[in-house]
Chains A and B, each alone.
Chain A
Amino acid sequence: MYLIKAVVRPEKRDEVLYELTSAGFNAATVVDVVGRGKQKGIKIGNIVYDEIPKVMIIMAVKDADKDDIVSVIMRAAKTSEKGAFGDGKIFVSPLEEAYTVSTGAKEL
């Protein structure tokens, strides 16, 4: 299993979640975060904004679904065909165990 953390633009949140549901992956946790990337924030005039608001979507997924989900998020979160700075990042980390509280089962 993997834990996917995707940082996307706030205005793309609903689109990404809708696309994920359509593709059959409903479960997700959504957090509002701030951050900066490789460009060290945005410089407008003399002011540097380095705490840019983003949305982090956290998903626990089966090994077989990982690539599908990454490509769905990638497609939905892009702002244009080429993409632009600030469209976000997707991180995938290993997940050893997952439990469902209601049943106590050790599964997703």
Chain B
Amino acid sequence: MKEIIAVVRMNRTNATKKALIESGAAGFTALKVMGRGKLVEDKGVIAARKANMMELAIGEDAKEAEQLIDGFLDGQRLFPRRMFHVIAKNQDVDQIVQAIMNANRTENKVGDGKIFVLPIAEVVRIRTAERNEVAL
């Protein structure tokens, strides 16, 4: 058995839930978390969005606005994300990971999230005390 931890955008929560049902893993635990990723080293990736935001800031102090937008896009700040914990059988893991990735990919190039797969030693269903795969 494996635990799949996926950190995704807040507004993709529903798409992710749907993808989980379709890939055969209806049960999950979700948390609200704050997160950040790697620092953006290649500024070209965020150039288009930066230009967009600079246009919105017309009329304001350009230097101050640029500083603010840079701080927003370069990855040092924490942003709200949804963290899903899904426990699955070994053979279902690839399918579920693919489904989550398809539901969460956007055009933004950064900030789409990460998926981690960890080993799980034992599962117990409290109601019946069943163990391992039958308890999933």
Contacts and interface: CB of A to CB of B under 8 A. Distances in A.
B38 A101 contact: no
B35 A99 contact: no
Given A60-B116, A96-B2, A29 B33 contact: yes
Contacts, number: 81
Interface residues of B, number: 37
Interface residues of A, number: 23
B54 to A, nearest CB: 23
For chain A, what secondary structure do more than half of its interface residues adopt (helix, strand, loop), or is it mixed? strand
Interface string B80-117: 01010000000001000100110011101111111111
20 contacts: A3-B5, A26-B39, A26-B75, A27-B35, A27-B37, A29-B35, A30-B33, A31-B33, A95-B117, A96-B117, A97-B97, A97-B117, A98-B115, A98-B116, A99-B97, A101-B101, A101-B104, A101-B105, A102-B112, A108-B114
